[in-house]
Structures are given as structure tokens and as C-alpha cells.
């Protein structure tokens, strides 16, 4: 069984459109994340949720809105897509470790291409 | 800005040789982790070393951590073609209590059969 899954795997869309990426984990973890990997392979945290509560919100444009309907799901909605949003988006999860940062489990990624 | 910088950016070796990658970071950490990313895939956790540890082994992997120099190294012994991937170090920071990882820029390893 897939531990962290994302859909879709590929997403090609026009500028200005609104799109969503879904993420689900079946590991029973309390914490979930969204990371963005750019064309130079730099990986940067965007958001983090713990038990449906937002705990990290980096300097991400407010066109990006995460939503966590339950602790097993963390979806990413993007409004008014721009060319610079093209990247690979990774969802990840980890067990709650208090103030520490523990091993994270990554999904396969969603390659977003904005034309 | 990236917390970690990795060195070298790219490394090409022959099968059977050892591969060493280095990582430097800037802030206080509670642990440092290494991940592997195969082309077009997600990241896979390899090993975690805590800030009070100096060396750790897992199979053909050996990780060292020098908190005084804010640096770590990953050694892969007896490399195989299947080890071809990008390798990232990631740090869990102490200062903000964040649980997200801060990643280095990665080393692209090519193992020639």
C-alpha cells in the first residue's frame, strides 16, 4: 500500500486557472507538509499542518491555500496560476515528535506546468 | 535561502568505488537527515543522526556529524549503479521549534557500471 499518495502526478494548465493537488497518507501521522521543488532541485517548505491545524506558513503567495479536512489529508489549492508556479510539489508526513523534527515520508510528487 | 550547501554538486564514480558527499548548515539543529531522490521520484529517507551523535552506520552508509563545524558527510561504500540519484541533507532546526526540514542543494551522484 502506498504510504503517501498525491494526485495528479502531472498537471498541465494555462495561466490564470485554479487547480488543486490532493495528498493522502495512511501512516497514521499527525503532521503533514507541502514542499516545492524548483527546476534547480531546491526543495523548500511551504506549509505544515498538525492535526488539521496550520503550524507553518512560509512566505508563500496567498494564491496558495492548503486545506486539511482530516489529519490524513492535506490538499493544496492554487488560484490564478502563474508561470513561476511551475515546479514539482511534494507532500510529506511525519509522526508528531514534539519540538523535534523527525523522519519525513514523501509522496511521489506532482509536476505542475503552467503554460 | 537554503540552510544547507552540499559539496560536490555532482559526482561521477565507477561501480565499486566509494562516494563521499558533504553538507554544511548554518543554524543550531536537533538532527540532520539524508535523503535520496531518484529521477522523477519523491524523496526517500536514508538515515538520521542526532545532534549529540558523531557517527552513524546503516548498511553501506556512514554518516558523520560535526556540530562545531556545522557539517556532515555521507559515505556510500562499494557503490552500485542503483545508487545513482540525487542526495540531499536536511536539518531539523532548534530555534523555531519547526517540524519542517530545511534542505540542502543536493549532490547528483552518477555511478557508472
Quick check: B87 contacting A, CB < 8 Å?
Answer: no
3 state DSSP class of B82: helix
pLDDT > 90 fraction of chain B, expressed in percent and rounded: 69
Question: What CA–CA distance (Å, rounded) separates A64 from B70?
Answer: 34
What is the percent of chain A with per-residue pLDDT over 90, rounded to a whole number?
Answer: 65
Cβ contact (<8 Å) for A90 and B42?
yes
Arithmetic mean of pLDDT, A41-65: 84
Predicted confidence at residue A58, as pLDDT, reads 75
A25 within 8 A of A33, measured Cβ to Cβ: no
Hey, of B4, B43, B88, B106, which one would you mutate to test binding to chain A, going by the most A CBs within 10 A of its CB? Answer: B43
Residue B34 has pLDDT above 70, yes or no: yes
Domain with B68 in it: 5-112
Query: Could you state, in order of their start, the residue ranges of all structural domains in chain A?
Result: 4-96+110-114
Check pLDDT > 60 for residue A48.
yes
pLDDT at B1 over 50: no
Mutant choice from A43, A55, A99 vs B, greatest count of B C-beta within 10 A: A43
**SS3 state at B26:** coil
pLDDT of residue B96: 54
Query: Which burial class, exposed, middle or buried, applies to A35 when counting CB atoms under 10 A from its CB (0-12, 13-18, 19+)?
Result: buried
In this structure, of A96-105, B5-14, B79-88, the range with the lowest mean pLDDT score is: A96-105
Domains identified in chain B, total number:
1
Cβ within 8 Å of A, B 13-72: 30-31, 33, 35, 37, 40-45, 48
Residue B70: CATH number of its domain: 2.60.40.10
Rg of chain A taking only CA atoms, in angstroms: 13
CATH (residue range A4-96+110-114): 2.60.40.10
Cβ of B99 within 8 Å of Cβ of A4? The answer is no
Q: Cβ contact (<8 Å) for A42 and B103?
A: yes
Judge: A103–B99 Cβ closer than 8 Å, yes or no.
Answer: no
**Confidence class for position B27, pLDDT limits 50, 70, 90:** confident
Amino acid at each position: 500500500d502506498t504510504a503517501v499518495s498525491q494526485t495528479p502526478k502531472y498537471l498541465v494548465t494555462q495561466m490564470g486557472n485554479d487547480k488543486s493537488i490532493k495528498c493522502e497518507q495512511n501512516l497514521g501521522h499527525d503532521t503533514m507538509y507541502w514542499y516545492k521543488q524548483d527546476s534547480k532541485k531546491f526543495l523548500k517548505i511551504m506549509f505544515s499542518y498538525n492535526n488539521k491545524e496550520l503550524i507553518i506558513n512560509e512566505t508563500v503567495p496567498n494564491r496558495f491555500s492548503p486545506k486539511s479536512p482530516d489529519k490524513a489529508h492535506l490538499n493544496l489549492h492554487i488560484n490564478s496560476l502563474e508561470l513561476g508556479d511551475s515546479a514539482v510539489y511534494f507532500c510529506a508526513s511525519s509522526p508528531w515528535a514534539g519540538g523535534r523534527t523527525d523522519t519525513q515520508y514523501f509522496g511521489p510528487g506532482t509536476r505542475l506546468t503552467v503554460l | 535561502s537554503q540552510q544547507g550547501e552540499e559539496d560536490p554538486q555532482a559526482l561521477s564514480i565507477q561501480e565499486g568505488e566509494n562516494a563521499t558527499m558533504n553538507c554544511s548548515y548554518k543554524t543550531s539543529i536537533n538532527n540532520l537527515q539524508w535523503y535520496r531522490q531518484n529521477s522523477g521520484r519523491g524523496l526517500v529517507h536514508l538515515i538520521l543522526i542526532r545532534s549529540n551523535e558523531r557517527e552513524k552506520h546503516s548498511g553501506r552508509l556512514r554518516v558523520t556529524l560535526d556540530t562545531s563545524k556545522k557539517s556532515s558527510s555521507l559515505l556510500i561504500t562499494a557503490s552500485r549503479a542503483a545508487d545513482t540519484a540525487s542526495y540531499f541533507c536536511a536539518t531539523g532546526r532548534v530555534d523555531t521549534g519547526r517540524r519542517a526540514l530545511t534542505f540542502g542543494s543536493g549532490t547528483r551522484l552518477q555511478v557508472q557500471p
